Amino acid sequence: MTTLYVDNIAPNLQSRVSVPGHVIQVVENVVSTAVSTSSTSYVSTGLSASITPTSTSSKILIVGTVTVRMPTGGNNYQHTIYRGATNLAPVATRGFIQVRDAGGSVSDGTFPVLYLDSPNTTSETTYTWYHKSEGGVACYFANDNSYANITLMEIAQ
């Protein structure tokens, strides 16, 4: 049996070791100021985060949480995430979150978003949270100055 003794181990900065399924990097952004919209088309909430993938094969796991409020008569309050100018929601018109009119009272709550994206790039990529009010009534993102966050995790493949 051989024994190896070392005083110091230094990383090889010329290469990157990527173990499939492991997180390579994490980026997060948080806002705590309420934003409202009465737009019936998706508009930015101002919450975004950017990440530069290390490989074109990497996936980006998008995790977000927001507290919202929709007053009576709002019909539907919808949320989605855009990568650049591309809406990532599987059903783009509905988004990832849809808060429905409670029929006589205010609808509010805290909602998550979880999505695994394949941007296929090593260029800086920006993900932005968008929202719209289907009924044209003012709806509130990060309601009562609570918080909303978006976290991006690069996952090695």
Q: Lowest mean pLDDT: which of 2-6, 14-18, 43-47, 148-152?
A: 14-18
Confidence of residue 16 (pLDDT cuts 50, 70, 90): low
Confidence of residue 126 (pLDDT cuts 50, 70, 90): very high
Q: What angle do CA 78, 83, 84 make, to 5 degrees?
A: 110
Could you give the percent of the chain with pLDDT greater than 90? Answer: 63
Ranges of each domain in the chain: 28-155
pTM of the full predicted structure? 0.86
State the average pLDDT over residues 77-105.
87
Confidence of residue 116 (pLDDT cuts 50, 70, 90): very high
pLDDT value of position 12:
63
Q: How many residues does the chain have?
A: 157
CATH class of 28-155: mainly beta
Q: How many CB atoms lie within 10 A of CB 2?
A: 3
Q: How many CB atoms lie within 10 A of CB 129?
A: 29
